[in-house]
Amino acid sequence: MAETRATEKGRAQKSTKGAATNRKSSGFSAEERAAMKERARELKVEARMTKNRAAGESAVLAKIAEMPQPDRAMAERLHAIITAAAPALWPRTWYGMPAYAKEGKVVCFFQSAQKFNSRYSTFGFQDAANLDEGAMWPTSFALKELTPHRRETDRRAREGSGQLDQQALGPLGSPRSSMAPLRSRP
Protein backbone atom coordinates (compact mmCIF):
# COMPACT_ATOMS: atom_id res chain seq x y z
CA MET A 1 0.00 0.00 0.00
CA ALA A 2 1.21 3.47 -0.76
CA GLU A 3 1.49 5.87 2.17
CA THR A 4 0.88 9.59 1.91
CA ARG A 5 3.38 12.12 3.24
CA ALA A 6 3.62 15.88 3.14
CA THR A 7 6.28 17.61 1.06
CA GLU A 8 8.07 20.92 1.78
CA LYS A 9 5.50 22.89 -0.20
CA GLY A 10 2.59 21.32 1.67
CA ARG A 11 1.41 19.07 -1.17
CA ALA A 12 0.60 15.44 -0.46
CA GLN A 13 2.80 12.90 -2.25
CA LYS A 14 2.27 9.16 -2.43
CA SER A 15 5.20 6.95 -1.62
CA THR A 16 5.93 4.08 -3.96
CA LYS A 17 7.50 2.13 -1.14
CA GLY A 18 6.12 -1.41 -1.22
CA ALA A 19 4.45 -0.97 -4.61
CA ALA A 20 7.20 -2.90 -6.36
CA THR A 21 6.37 -6.10 -4.49
CA ASN A 22 3.36 -6.69 -6.75
CA ARG A 23 5.41 -6.50 -9.97
CA LYS A 24 7.00 -9.46 -11.66
CA SER A 25 10.77 -9.47 -11.83
CA SER A 26 12.22 -8.86 -15.28
CA GLY A 27 15.42 -10.65 -14.24
CA PHE A 28 16.55 -14.12 -15.26
CA SER A 29 14.10 -16.80 -16.35
CA ALA A 30 13.84 -20.09 -14.47
CA GLU A 31 15.83 -21.81 -17.24
CA GLU A 32 18.60 -19.21 -17.03
CA ARG A 33 18.80 -19.49 -13.24
CA ALA A 34 18.99 -23.30 -13.55
CA ALA A 35 21.82 -22.99 -16.10
CA MET A 36 23.75 -20.66 -13.77
CA LYS A 37 23.32 -23.05 -10.83
CA GLU A 38 24.47 -25.91 -13.02
CA ARG A 39 27.54 -23.91 -14.06
CA ALA A 40 28.37 -23.23 -10.40
CA ARG A 41 28.20 -26.98 -9.70
CA GLU A 42 30.44 -27.63 -12.73
CA LEU A 43 33.03 -25.16 -11.43
CA LYS A 44 33.09 -26.89 -8.04
CA VAL A 45 33.58 -30.29 -9.67
CA GLU A 46 36.34 -28.92 -11.92
CA ALA A 47 38.14 -27.46 -8.89
CA ARG A 48 38.06 -30.82 -7.06
CA MET A 49 39.09 -33.07 -9.91
CA THR A 50 42.27 -33.00 -11.87
CA LYS A 51 41.91 -32.10 -15.51
CA ASN A 52 40.78 -35.48 -16.73
CA ARG A 53 39.66 -35.91 -20.32
CA ALA A 54 37.75 -39.13 -19.57
CA ALA A 55 35.73 -37.42 -16.83
CA GLY A 56 34.82 -34.60 -19.20
CA GLU A 57 33.88 -37.06 -21.91
CA SER A 58 31.60 -39.02 -19.57
CA ALA A 59 29.95 -35.79 -18.35
CA VAL A 60 29.29 -34.70 -21.94
CA LEU A 61 27.91 -38.10 -22.91
CA ALA A 62 25.65 -38.07 -19.83
CA LYS A 63 24.28 -34.64 -20.82
CA ILE A 64 23.71 -35.84 -24.38
CA ALA A 65 21.88 -38.93 -23.08
CA GLU A 66 19.49 -36.66 -21.12
CA MET A 67 18.43 -34.79 -24.28
CA PRO A 68 15.21 -35.60 -26.10
CA GLN A 69 15.26 -36.59 -29.77
CA PRO A 70 16.14 -35.07 -32.28
CA ASP A 71 18.56 -32.98 -30.17
CA ARG A 72 20.23 -36.12 -28.85
CA ALA A 73 20.95 -37.40 -32.37
CA MET A 74 22.41 -34.03 -33.41
CA ALA A 75 24.53 -33.78 -30.25
CA GLU A 76 25.84 -37.35 -30.70
CA ARG A 77 26.76 -36.62 -34.32
CA LEU A 78 28.43 -33.29 -33.45
CA HIS A 79 30.34 -34.98 -30.63
CA ALA A 80 31.66 -37.60 -33.06
CA ILE A 81 32.61 -34.93 -35.63
CA ILE A 82 34.34 -32.66 -33.12
CA THR A 83 36.30 -35.40 -31.35
CA ALA A 84 37.45 -36.82 -34.71
CA ALA A 85 38.26 -33.49 -36.39
CA ALA A 86 39.78 -31.70 -33.38
CA PRO A 87 41.31 -34.19 -30.93
CA ALA A 88 43.06 -31.32 -29.14
CA LEU A 89 39.68 -30.16 -27.78
CA TRP A 90 38.63 -31.65 -24.45
CA PRO A 91 34.94 -32.46 -23.94
CA ARG A 92 33.34 -30.86 -20.87
CA THR A 93 30.03 -29.43 -19.79
CA TRP A 94 29.42 -25.71 -19.80
CA TYR A 95 26.22 -24.27 -18.29
CA GLY A 96 24.81 -27.79 -18.53
CA MET A 97 25.57 -28.07 -22.25
CA PRO A 98 28.08 -30.25 -24.11
CA ALA A 99 31.12 -28.11 -24.86
CA TYR A 100 34.68 -28.55 -26.10
CA ALA A 101 37.63 -26.65 -24.64
CA LYS A 102 41.25 -25.97 -25.45
CA GLU A 103 43.62 -25.07 -22.63
CA GLY A 104 40.66 -24.78 -20.25
CA LYS A 105 38.74 -22.27 -22.39
CA VAL A 106 35.49 -23.28 -24.11
CA VAL A 107 35.84 -23.12 -27.87
CA CYS A 108 32.48 -24.47 -29.05
CA PHE A 109 29.25 -25.77 -27.54
CA PHE A 110 25.93 -27.40 -28.41
CA GLN A 111 22.75 -26.01 -26.90
CA SER A 112 19.66 -28.19 -27.03
CA ALA A 113 16.46 -26.52 -28.20
CA GLN A 114 14.79 -27.77 -25.03
CA LYS A 115 17.38 -26.05 -22.79
CA PHE A 116 15.78 -22.61 -23.18
CA ASN A 117 12.53 -23.62 -24.91
CA SER A 118 13.85 -22.50 -28.28
CA ARG A 119 12.65 -23.38 -31.79
CA TYR A 120 16.04 -24.77 -32.76
CA SER A 121 19.25 -26.11 -31.29
CA THR A 122 22.41 -24.04 -31.47
CA PHE A 123 26.01 -24.89 -32.25
CA GLY A 124 28.11 -21.93 -31.21
CA PHE A 125 31.65 -20.67 -30.75
CA GLN A 126 33.33 -18.65 -28.03
CA ASP A 127 36.17 -16.11 -28.42
CA ALA A 128 38.78 -18.83 -27.87
CA ALA A 129 37.83 -20.28 -31.28
CA ASN A 130 39.71 -17.43 -33.03
CA LEU A 131 37.30 -17.20 -35.93
CA ASP A 132 38.45 -13.72 -36.90
CA GLU A 133 38.29 -13.77 -40.68
CA GLY A 134 37.31 -10.56 -42.39
CA ALA A 135 35.01 -7.94 -40.92
CA MET A 136 32.15 -10.25 -40.02
CA TRP A 137 31.80 -13.99 -39.25
CA PRO A 138 29.20 -16.27 -37.69
CA THR A 139 29.57 -17.26 -34.04
CA SER A 140 26.62 -19.67 -33.85
CA PHE A 141 24.43 -21.75 -36.09
CA ALA A 142 20.79 -22.75 -35.70
CA LEU A 143 20.30 -26.49 -36.18
CA LYS A 144 17.06 -28.27 -36.95
CA GLU A 145 18.62 -31.58 -38.02
CA LEU A 146 21.84 -33.23 -39.18
CA THR A 147 21.00 -35.63 -41.94
CA PRO A 148 23.31 -37.86 -44.00
CA HIS A 149 22.24 -35.92 -47.11
CA ARG A 150 23.24 -32.60 -45.56
CA ARG A 151 26.58 -33.98 -44.36
CA GLU A 152 27.31 -35.34 -47.86
CA THR A 153 26.38 -32.01 -49.45
CA ASP A 154 28.66 -30.15 -47.01
CA ARG A 155 31.51 -32.60 -47.67
CA ARG A 156 31.20 -32.21 -51.45
CA ALA A 157 31.08 -28.44 -51.13
CA ARG A 158 34.23 -28.42 -48.99
CA GLU A 159 36.07 -30.69 -51.42
CA GLY A 160 34.92 -28.63 -54.39
CA SER A 161 36.17 -25.41 -52.83
CA GLY A 162 39.49 -26.95 -51.75
CA GLN A 163 38.81 -26.24 -48.10
CA LEU A 164 40.10 -29.55 -46.79
CA ASP A 165 43.78 -28.72 -47.28
CA GLN A 166 46.12 -27.59 -44.50
CA GLN A 167 45.47 -23.87 -45.12
CA ALA A 168 41.81 -24.39 -44.27
CA LEU A 169 42.66 -25.75 -40.85
CA GLY A 170 41.88 -23.28 -38.16
CA PRO A 171 43.98 -22.61 -35.09
CA LEU A 172 42.29 -25.57 -33.41
CA GLY A 173 43.48 -28.10 -35.95
CA SER A 174 40.02 -28.71 -37.36
CA PRO A 175 38.57 -27.88 -40.79
CA ARG A 176 37.13 -24.38 -40.84
CA SER A 177 34.93 -25.20 -43.80
CA SER A 178 31.80 -25.59 -41.69
CA MET A 179 32.21 -21.97 -40.62
CA ALA A 180 32.79 -20.54 -44.08
CA PRO A 181 29.91 -19.88 -46.45
CA LEU A 182 29.46 -22.45 -49.18
CA ARG A 183 30.48 -21.33 -52.64
CA SER A 184 27.75 -21.23 -55.22
CA ARG A 185 28.03 -23.86 -57.89
CA PRO A 186 27.94 -22.93 -61.60
Give the domain ranges of the chain: 30-167
Identify the pLDDT of residue 167.
36
Residue (of 146, 124, 140) closest to 70 by Cα position: 146
Identify the pLDDT of residue 113.
92
Question: With respect to CATH, is domain 30-167 assigned 3.40.190.10?
Answer: no
Identify the pLDDT of residue 3.
54
Identify the pLDDT of residue 123.
94
Identify the pLDDT of residue 65.
95
Give the residue ranges of the chain where pLDDT is below 70: 1-25, 46-51, 148-186
pLDDT more than 70, % of the chain: 62
Identify the pLDDT of residue 54.
82
Identify the pLDDT of residue 91.
92
How far apart CA 114 and CA 121 sit, in angstroms, is 8
Identify the pLDDT of residue 53.
80
C-beta neighbour count of 29 within 10 angstroms: 11
Identify the pLDDT of residue 120.
93
How far apart CA 128 and CA 145 sit, in angstroms, is 26
Identify the pLDDT of residue 134.
80
- Contacting residues for 118 by C-beta, under 8 A, at least 6 apart: 111
Q: Each residue of 2-26: pLDDT tens digit?
A: 555 555 565 655 555 545 555 566 7
How far apart CA 34 and CA 135 sit, in angstroms, is 35
How far apart CA 89 and CA 173 sit, in angstroms, is 9
pLDDT more than 90, % of the chain: 29
